[in-house]
Each structure stands twice: as structure tokens, then as C-alpha cells.
Amino acid sequence: MPLPLDDETLLFEPAPSQGGALAVVFAFPNQYSVGITSLGYQVVWATLARRGDIQVSRLFTDGHEPLPAAIDVLGFSLSWELDYTNLMTLLEQLDIPLFAGDRTAEHPLVFGGGPVLTANPEPFAAFFDVILLGDGETLLDDFVDALVELKAASRAETLRRLAMVPGIYVPVLYAVTYDGPTGGVRAIAPVDTELPAAVQKQTYRGNVLSASTVVTPHAAWENIYMVEVVRSCPEMCRFCLASYLTLPFRPASLEASLVPAIERGLAVTNRLGLLGASITQHPEFDLLLDYLNRPQFDDVRLSLSSVRTNTVTPKLAETLTRHDSRSITIAIESGSERVRHIVNKKLETDDIERAAVNARAGGLSAMKLYGMAGVPGETMTDLEQTVALMLRLKKAAPGLRLTFGCSTFVPKAHTPFQWCGVNREAEKRLKYLQKHLRSQGIDFRPESYNWSVIQALISRGDRRLAPVLERVRHYGDSLGSYRRAFKDFQGQIPPLEYYVHADWDLDQPLPWDHLWGPLPKATLQKHFDSAGVGAVPA
């Protein structure tokens, strides 16, 4: 199916392809409307399209640009764990073997990147020849330069040379040993001593951050132009992948990055999205609001990602109201100050109440709060305090429509809570919150507990999961399908409970120990110890 290219407004100039250009297909394993709304996908595609030595075509599950007769390189941007099933479908449609070990010189080199793979690529390692770990600004051109230089090389030589480039991970060149078929990881090491002992995630440290390269009415957010205000988050909540994996915190320069980017985007659309894990902690955020409140931007519709609770000022609320926003989103994690201390959420209950009061005073009509159930160390008393907090907010800011979105705690690689399993009582705790909040007229929106279990499986999985994930495709996408697939491989891999619910020893090897994030494992262990969850009954 062709893509709606006539409706796209490009904000960059593609380079004409030179003779002998490398034929690259860059895929997003979901629908066009979803993929084209991914800022990461947009930026990587534009980076490739600006190179004359690359001829790039885009591929989605519901359409594609004209594809080359012979594909040299096939890339995937993986933003959501369960999109791996679509990834497999696209490989099959292109007659490419699912497993890298089955590919020959006749097949394209298959690479992957994106937040899912940067966090923990091991469950998917068998499907990729190459995985890019880290920020595209630092890594992408080095990768493509090497590919162009190695175009005439054999597949084996290409993979070996790519493995020498910082941030490029070639799974086949790293061997994993286990403590028996159903035991944990024993060791991970390169297949020979000439290869790097570990692959270091690459971090871009500049202060000119990303912005949309295309605007289209067919995006999930129609005609939106996105600007990255900050990267990472200074708060370092102990469960948070968005903070720990992307350190250090980098605000975009107001003059060199944000203002020029916003002016480019608002020349073609009046819908602006400001992105970042903690955008209101930009040191010049107040000046950014002043800039957006100029009369020439009165018709601009402004959307913000989640903001830090104690930065919700009347000025911010009035700015959002002025620019056609009716609600604001904050993450509080829990109504319990004790739990917020455990996760390192530096937030007082009075701060949360003040945010609700300021939002209402500034003209906003709704506030969405995000929290979690099953946090390590959480007790039922903490859940009671979450209910009490929501009722307190309802009283403090009458007329403000409150929504509480709640997920189950899921351990993530490269965070201090990576050793903690999913609380087996979390599903009951979600039901407790639902019963006590909905009865008080508060909109409670729980994330599926079963989805959290699947997410935890993938976030803490190792390479032995690859055949399980392939088998699940044939059974469906429910948690029952995963349990059925695990039964098929019983005795060959650890049980589902090992990956999802088990608390792991701090000194045991982890599946991603050979893939280094911003902080060393010893530092993460210290951060875990400082949470003090060992002494608290669950």
C-alpha cells in the first residue's frame, strides 16, 4: 500500500542518491500513523536521507515507499516491546530469515535501534545482525560510514569490523554461558580477545536536541511538530529507565536549539509538542513560556509531555489554557511519602496539592496523575494513602477533573530496581485502588497487569527467550500465549516466574552486563541499597 506522501511537509532537504548508493530500507514495525509520530524514527530517517551515499526507503506495516530490488541493509526502530511480532512479519514479507544465524550473503544486513533495544536487546538479539546502542547523533553516521566503506566486504568481515565501532553491538560475536538450562546467566564474553570486552552505549552531549523532520495530518497527533526540550531527567527515580539510561540530563539551548526549531515548525503548522522526561526543569523554561506567549503565537495549540509536579505554576497553567490545552499530566508514583522516598521521588504531598490548585487557578479543567502499584517495599497502608491523596486533591481543587492512571511496577535494565521482581499482589492492589477511587467519582485508569508481566519478561530477558517469542506469534498476544510457549520449552529455559517475579541477587551476572549504560553496575547497587527496601515487608 502506498504512503500518503503528498500530504507530508518535509523540514529538511533530502540529498539525491549518488551512483552506487547503499540501498537501505528503514522500517518502523507498526502503522505509518504511529511510526511517523515517533521523533526518533523521523530523525534517523532524515539523517539517512540527507546522505548521497544512501538510498533510503521507508517501510511500515500498512505501507511503504518504493523498495529497491536488492536491499543491502534493513533497519528497524523499535519503540514498543510488542512490536517485535510486526518486525517478524515484515522480515517474512521480505523473504529474510527471522534468525540472524540463518542469513547468508544473499540477505540484507539487519540492524535495529531505539529505546527498547538500547535498554535490553538480549531477548531480540537472535533476530538482528547488528544493534545500535545509544544516541543517533553520535552513532548513526559512524555506523553508515563503516557500512559504505565495507560494501564490498564479506558478511563475516563486515560484522567483525562493525563490532569495533563504539556503540555497535554484534550479538553473534558475544557468547553467553548459563548455570544449566534453567539457571541464570553465568558469563558473557566476546568470542575472541580482539573484540571489545563490553559495548558502551553512546551518549550525545550537545545542547542542540531533536525536532521533527516531517509534519503530516496522518500522524497519530495530527499535524504536530515536536521539539525535544530536555534529554534525560535530573531526578533519577530508582525505577526510571528514561532517566538512568539517558544520563546525563541535557537541556537544549534556548537560542541555539529551541527557538530556531520552534520557528521552523510553526512556519508550517500551528500544533506544537514539547517533549522530554522533565521539560519544566529546563533552566530557562520560564523564558520559553514568555517566548510562546508572544501575540504571533496566539493560535498555536500547545501540548506538553508529563511535567514535574512542583513546577506546575499558575503561569504554566495559564500558558497551556491560552494555547488550547485543557489538562496537564504529572507523575506522582504514589500518595505515600514513604514510597516516594523509596523510589527517590523528591516530592512532598503539599507540592501535589499545590499543583492541582495552581492548575485550576490557571484555567485548566483536568489533571492526570500517574502512579504505580507494587513498588518494592510498598504496603497496603501506602495504597490507602494514595486514595486519601486523591480525595484531598478533589477537595482542594473543586471543579478540576482528576484522572489517576496506574501501572504495575516493572523492573528495567540499567536502573537500581533491575534486581526486583514484579509484586505478585500488584493485580489485587490495582483492583483495590479501582474500587476505592471510582466509588468517589475519580476516573481510575489501570494499565493491564498482564501487559506488565509481559513487559517485565522482555525487560529482564536473556537470549533464550528468542524461540519463545517466535512461538508466541502462533498462539496470540495474551499472557496465556506466553505461558503456553514457556510450557513448550519447559526444562530448556528458566520458567516465566524467574524472569518476571524473582528478586535477583545483587552480585549475580545480568543478561546485559556486557552492555554498559551511563552508570556502572556498582553505582546502581549503591542506589538500590539507599532505597532501603530490604528491611520493609511487601
Q: Is the pLDDT of residue 537 over 70?
A: no
Instruction: Give pLDDT tens digits for 253-303.
Output: 999 999 999 999 999 999 999 999 999 999 999 999 999 999 999 999 999
DSSP 347: -
Instruction: Give pLDDT tens digits for 319-363.
Output: 999 999 999 999 999 999 999 999 999 999 999 999 999 999 999
Residue 44 confidence (pLDDT): 97
Residue 535 confidence (pLDDT): 39
259 and 292 in contact (C-beta within 8 Å)?
no
DSSP helix/strand/coil, 422:
coil
Q: Is the pLDDT of residue 1 over 80?
A: no
- How many CA within 13 A on the CB side of residue 353? 12
- Residue 178 to residue 497: CA distance in whole angstroms: 17
Beta-sheet strands, E only, within 39-86:
54-60, 63-64, 73-77
166 and 202 in contact (C-beta within 8 Å)?
yes
Please give the mean pLDDT across all residues of the chain.
96
Q: Is the pLDDT of residue 536 over 70?
A: no
52 and 92 in contact (C-beta within 8 Å)?
no
- Residue 129 to residue 468: CA distance in whole angstroms: 19
DSSP helix/strand/coil, 356:
helix
Averaged pLDDT, 388-392: 98
Full-model pTM: 0.95
CA nearest neighbour of 531 among 332, 339, 386, 385:
339
Residue 534 confidence (pLDDT): 67
Residues paired with 406 in a beta bridge: 371, 446
- Residue 300 to residue 263: CA distance in whole angstroms: 12
Q: Is the pLDDT of residue 104 over 50?
A: yes
Q: Can you give the C-alpha Rg of the chain in angstroms?
A: 24
Contacts of 135 (CB under 8 A, 6+ apart): 202, 203, 204
262 and 285 in contact (C-beta within 8 Å)?
no
Residue 477 confidence (pLDDT): 85
* Single-letter residue type at 160: R
CA distances from 162 to 30, 136, 196, 339, 420 (A): 28, 16, 11, 44, 34
